[in-house]
Amino acid sequence: MTKTASNVLFAYWSHDIGGFRKPKTSDPPANADELMVRWVQFGAVSPMFRTHGVMALERRVWKWPGYALMADAMKFRARLAPYLYTTARAAYETGVGILRPMYYAWPEEARAYEADLQYMLGDALLVRPVVKEIPEAAQAVSVDIWLPREIDGRAGRWVDWNSSAEVMGDDTHKRVLAKLSDLPLFVKAGAVLPLLPPGATDATDSANVHWCLMPGSEAGEGERYDDAGDTNDYNEDGFIRQRLSYTLKHASDEEVMTIRLSAVVGAYPEMADSVHHVLELRGRSPPARATCNGQDLEITESRGHSLALPHGTVLIDVGQVPVSDASEIELVWRSPVVTV
């Protein structure tokens, strides 16, 4: 059901995190906490997310020893809201579900049919949930993942969400070590993901957008979709779209990334007049200079590490931008450029 539901236009399903019915034995399994963490992580990258059941495992996630890791997964889920909503619009228009088997994009690849424990979440995210426990006395469990060698006619370059490391796809399975805090997740190189700010608790927040730019490409683009969320106006013209694209150029002594943020196209009632935009750069050192329409921008770097905001993410605050305005942002690195 997980990855084949889309085949029958069943795009919005959920598994009952923790199991629906009470286990046959009165006591929970010895690895119940680890199981619950993995289940919540899986739910965070599913079309719908819910802990649900009848007299089954404890559903109040804050009661579990692994709650901090579950909370991290849920915060990551919250951050994905604009990406998922944009993908949901595409599902509405095309009938292709949010969660897709690998053979949708790679129908000629035999491994696409064999890789039955992984899937694409939208166009950009490749997910491989962990479904086995960490061996006794070990710190991580090994999982196999297939990264396609070709993406849209080009060499298949992928980025590990957890480490920002670039990986080339090929005909073999990659072996990944996943600690309990890790969810094996790879992103197409050059992808641009619309996200909510770290720590966001309101999935309907349309006044703040973080654009996550993945490394590994000389150019990339992404789009966000939004609507009122509580009317049927999206059936007509009550929605908006906005695009962000970038190009990367190299010179003898510097590297320049030019980012173009489009004006918002469309409208819906009570939409914000302006949006606070932040860029998140993965796998790169902070630029020497960042400007938007000639004005200097603040540059910071994340220090901690979590699934919701991995270590070393560079954040560039573009500030409030009127929805009717387009913006051009320029980032400059002095040679030698450091990738991380």
Q: Are 215 and 282 in contact (CB under 8 A)?
A: yes
Q: Which of 79, 78, 61 is nearest to 70 (CA)?
A: 61
- Taking residues 319-330, report their average pLDDT: 97
| Residue 262: Cβ-neighbour burial (10 angstroms; 0-12, 13-18, 19+) | middle
Is residue 128 very low, low, confident or very high in pLDDT (cuts 50, 70, 90)? very high
Positive or negative: CA dihedral 25, 26, 29, 33: positive
Strand partners, 330: 258, 291
Residues of the chain with pLDDT > 70, as a percent, come to: 95
The confidence score (pLDDT) of residue 258 equals 98
173-215 pLDDT, tens per residue?
Answer: 888 899 999 999 999 999 999 999 999 989 889 999 999 999 9
DSSP-assigned states of every residue in 154-221: EE-EEEETTT--EEE--SSEEEEEEETT---EEEETT-EEEEPPTT---TT--SEEEEEE-SS-SEEE
* Rounded (10°) angle between helices 81-94 and 67-79: 50
The confidence score (pLDDT) of residue 56 equals 63
pTM summary value = 0.94
User: Domains in the chain, ordered, with CATH?
Assistant: 5-188 (3.20.20.80), 192-334 (2.60.40.1180)
- Taking residues 310-318, report their average pLDDT: 95
The confidence score (pLDDT) of residue 26 equals 61
* Lateral strand order in the sheet of 192-195: 192-195, 208-213, 274-281, 314-322, 298-301
From residue 287, alpha-carbon distances to 101, 247, 266, 304 in Å are 38, 15, 33, 20
The confidence score (pLDDT) of residue 254 equals 93
In this structure, what token pair is assigned to residue 323? 């929805």
SS3 63: helix
Predicted confidence (pLDDT) at residue 51 exceeds the cutoff of 70 = yes
What length does the chain have? 340
DSSP H helical segments within the chain, as ranges?
32-44, 67-79, 81-94, 110-114
Q: Which of 284, 277, 285 is nearest to 316 (CA)?
A: 277
The confidence score (pLDDT) of residue 298 equals 97
Predicted confidence (pLDDT) at residue 226 exceeds the cutoff of 90 = yes
Distance CA 237, CA 309 (A): 34
Residues of the chain with pLDDT > 90, as a percent, come to: 75
Q: What is the DSSP letter of 7?
A: G
SS3 255: strand
Distance CA 38, CA 66 (A): 10
